[in-house]
Amino acid sequence: MSAQRRPFVHRVGQNTVHAALCSALVASASAWAQEGQSDTSDDTDVRSVQQFETITVQGSAGDGYQTREASSPKFVVPLIDTPRTVDVIPEAVIKDRGATSLQDVLRNTPGISLGSGEGGTPTGDRPFIRGYEASTDIFIDGVRDYARGYHEVFNLESVEVVKGPSGVLTGRGGTGGSINMQTKTPKAYDFADATVGIGNGGQHRLTLDGNLTLGETSAMRLNLMRMGGDVPGRNEVKYNRWGIAPSIAFGLGTPTRFTLSYAHIENKDTPDMGIPFRNDAVPDRVRPLEPNRKNFYGRKDVDFRQNKFDTATATIEHDFADDLTVRNITRYGKSLNHYLFTRPSFENCTKTDKNPNPAPSCYTEGADLQFTRSDRARWRESKSLINQTDIFGEFNTGSARHYFVAGMEFGRERLYSKAMDGLPGEDMGSFWNPNPNKHYSSNISYGPKTRDGYIDTKAIYLMDTIELNEQWYVSGGVRYDRFKVHADATTGRGGVPVPAAGRTDGIWSYQAGVVYKPVYYGSVYLSYGTSANPAGENLGQAGGADGPAGGATVHDLKPEKSRSWELGTKWDLFDEQMSFTAAVFETKKTDARSQDPLQDDIVTLNGKNRVRGLEIGVEGAITPKWDIWAGYTFLNSKVLNYVNNGENYSGKRMKFIPKHSATLWTTYQLDPKWSIGGGVTYTGMRYVDDANKYELPSNTVVDAMVKYQVNKNFDLQLNVNNLTNTRIWDASHVGLFANVGHGRSIMLNASYHFE
């Protein structure tokens, strides 16, 4: 964030109280107002407060649960004045909950459900926001992250989930929203924080966060991470990660600031696809069978996963004036998603044309029930270069105040792959007593590195929020993207050649909103926005099991279109230390991909679906000692028109989406040394197939924390996540297998702060 960027403000008439800081000042003003309100209305109080001179106070937001501003300059006003839902999970919540990955963070965020990869759909973080996939809508410091893998949190200050269509903010995609990971940057003061953690199953984690000033206006920062051990509750599944993230900044506190940063992260966790999900031979079986939750259905010392992320970023900011700043970000990214994993299923137990006589053991739920192990392998490399320029600031036109941002973006991504041969091959095993230690004769060999294709984007955008007076804001935005995708010629299934294909689309996105503020600490808003999903945006992953809606193939089709409206309210309560939000919304996708009812090989844009919902959120401090971060989301999803493989699924619920999800996390400081915390997360039942036949059961997961402050520099924190050892059903890939989350996880962290 720019040192000169407009801080969080309370607007009272034409005066401004800059509040990144001082609850005492706010409390004093509130008390003064209350003294004079015996026979007057709230409006009179506000007019009375307007008699103060302009007061400016500088400070920092601290380490609390409340966040009043998003990190991106595209959010030109504080969140309370922004007409959309934005969930910010700050570092304090991430640490208190003991989260170590983006998946941990998202699992505890209402309105987000998880999907699974399956070879054609690459493994990696696959969130669904408000019912729509957002795996390619993940950003780092506001710049799109093209990598497909599992992200870490050791170098993050916050995770920001922007709900609703993000076309104007982020470009293509973003139907249900987007996710921004805000990284740590150098500061103008020295510090070092080291944390060592040990837990059950041999879990261990080490992180280091150090900042060193190099002069009055420059500093460098270094973040390190190493993690290993067993995944609690899952036999043979292990963590193995490390990362390094150095950065250096020049010109801190001056009009011109320059930052260079780099991050290298490697993840070699054991790939774990969970358990075989369904057995069509067992009558009326619509939920996963429940064997010993520790059973591992993969192949020990055979299956592997390797994620590598390299990201280099140069950021330069310059303040032309106090109210006008330009920022340019250039980023080079390289990622590798390389794996061989076992896809466990009852595939050979299902009667099909290819398998007309399933094995007799498939029909028995006893010890001889058989499942199939099959190979899923991939070597995929992505290289990207992105340049993004924003100019943002403020100006007046008459009595109206404008807060604007304009910018342009250029992006280029190249995708490469290698064929993998010599895989172990398919075999069958006992479902109730799988043997992961079987010997497999395999000798993996790799073909030459070939390019799969490329994606080029060019964009220009403009957003403006107009403060008409202390009660009314109106906002609007427009963005134009030139999206070009090209898939190189390749060989498909069965050796069938697939010719090269490509297309270019021009995409217009719009957003508009109005905000009414009955008092300065509360707002009511109505917003509208659009987004678009062009064909080929997920280049490199096969549509396959996800059908034509997977958007994997470069079809000769125009982009899918979505539009959404949202009506909501936001309030800063309890001396403005706690934020309350509520919203109702509808997102409707028109021109969705679907198959022609009469010709399966023809994909059309005749599909339609929609999601209606309600969302409530609370974050911040109830008292100076009592913090809370909580939320609830209701999603009513419906397929309005969709055909796949000759079946019409109109009227069904959209797959992977729970109707109800909620989380509550709260901490309380018992005394200066002891703090306790606890929470519960609920995820409702989800269908995992278009026909709504197969479902993942609901989960209720309880977590707990206790912290002891030994002295001002040293503290101990004990986290017990999944306290009741609940079987967590994380995700499924269209009902073939069900991903199972960790069991009871106990972690003791010792942290030392060097001054």
CA distance 709 to 322: 41
* In the block, residue with structure tokens 């206006």: 217
Same domain, 83 and 54: no
In a domain, 738, yes or no: yes
| Range scoring the smallest mean pLDDT among 120-134, 314-328, 509-523, 738-752 | 120-134
pTM recorded for the entire structure: 0.88
119: which 2 tokens? 């070879």
387: which 2 tokens? 């340049």
> Which of residues 48, 64, 80 is at a domain's end?
64
Same domain, 41 and 70: no
Same domain, 20 and 75: no
Same domain, 106 and 240: yes
CATH code of the domain in which 197 resides: 2.40.170.20
Same domain, 144 and 222: yes
CA distance 15 to 50: 7
Q: Name the residue range of residue 569's domain.
A: 65-436+452-541+558-754
Same domain, 69 and 31: no
333: which 2 tokens? 């990214």
- State the pLDDT at residue 619: 96
* In the block, residue with structure tokens 């009375």: 48
- State the pLDDT at residue 349: 66
Same domain, 155 and 32: no
Same domain, 1 and 129: no
- Angle ∠(578,579,583) on CA atoms, nearest 5: 155
Same domain, 49 and 73: no
In this prediction, what percent of the chain has a pLDDT beyond 90?
68
Residue 39 has pLDDT above 60, yes or no: no
pLDDT band at residue 282, thresholds of 50, 70 and 90? low
* Cβ atoms within 10 Å of 727's Cβ, excluding its own: 17
* Cβ atoms within 10 Å of 51's Cβ, excluding its own: 9
Q: Is 447 exposed, middle or buried (0-12, 13-18, 19+ CB in 10 A)?
A: exposed
The model's pLDDT over 717-741, given as tens digits with 9 standing for 90+, comes to 999 999 999 999 998 887 888 999 9
- State the pLDDT at residue 13: 34
> Which of residues 33, 64, 95 is at a domain's end?
64
In a domain, 429, yes or no: yes
φ and ψ at residue 38, rounded to 5 degrees:
-55, -40
Residues 562 and 530: beta-carbon distance below 8 Å = yes
> SS3 of 95, please?
helix
The model's pLDDT over 464-476, given as tens digits with 9 standing for 90+, comes to 999 999 999 999 9
- Angle ∠(532,533,535) on CA atoms, nearest 5: 140
Q: Of how many residues is the chain composed?
A: 755
pLDDT band at residue 285, thresholds of 50, 70 and 90? low
Residue 191 has pLDDT above 60, yes or no: yes
The model's pLDDT over 605-660, given as tens digits with 9 standing for 90+, comes to 889 999 999 999 999 999 999 999 999 999 999 999 999 888 899 999 999 999 99
Helix ranges (DSSP H) in 244-317: none
In a domain, 549, yes or no: no
> What distances in angstroms separate CA 110 from CA 119, 163, 313, 508, 629, one per listed residue?
28, 11, 31, 30, 11
> Which of residues 64, 89, 104 is at a domain's end?
64
Strands 177-183, 138-140: parallel, antiparallel or unpaired by DSSP?
Answer: parallel
CA distance 652 to 69: 38
Same domain, 58 and 78: no
CA distance 155 to 241: 13
Same domain, 326 and 278: yes
- How many helices (H) and strands (E) the chain has is answered by 5, 44
Q: Which of 267, 240, 234, 241 minimizes the C-alpha distance to 149?
A: 267
The number of distinct structural domains making up the chain is: 2
pLDDT band at residue 547, thresholds of 50, 70 and 90? low
- State the pLDDT at residue 658: 95
The model's pLDDT over 565-605, given as tens digits with 9 standing for 90+, comes to 999 999 999 999 999 999 999 999 988 888 877 776 788 88
pLDDT band at residue 119, thresholds of 50, 70 and 90? low
φ and ψ at residue 45, rounded to 5 degrees:
-60, -45
Average pLDDT, the chain: 86
Residues whose CB is less than 8 angstroms from the CB of residue 661 and which lie 6 or more positions away in sequence, other chains included: 110, 111, 112, 113, 632, 633, 635, 682, 683, 684
pLDDT mean over 74-79: 93
In a domain, 446, yes or no: no
Residues 373 and 428: beta-carbon distance below 8 Å = yes
In a domain, 642, yes or no: yes
pLDDT band at residue 15, thresholds of 50, 70 and 90? very low
Residues 586 and 604: beta-carbon distance below 8 Å = no
DSSP 525-537: EEEEEEEEE-TTT
DSSP 444-501: -EE---EEEEEEEEEEEEEEEEEE-SSSEEEEEEEEEEEEEEEE--EE-GGG-EE--E
Same domain, 57 and 69: no
CA distance 277 to 381: 30
In a domain, 553, yes or no: no
Residues 430 and 373: beta-carbon distance below 8 Å = no
Q: Which of 543, 572, 574 minimizes the C-alpha distance to 557?
A: 543
CA distance 546 to 739: 17
In a domain, 93, yes or no: yes
The model's pLDDT over 237-262, given as tens digits with 9 standing for 90+, comes to 999 999 999 999 999 999 999 999 99
In a domain, 209, yes or no: yes
Q: Which tops the pLDDT comparison, 213 or 552? A: 213
Residues whose CB is less than 8 angstroms from the CB of residue 594 and which lie 6 or more positions away in sequence, other chains included: 548, 549, 603, 604, 605, 606, 607, 641, 642, 643, 644
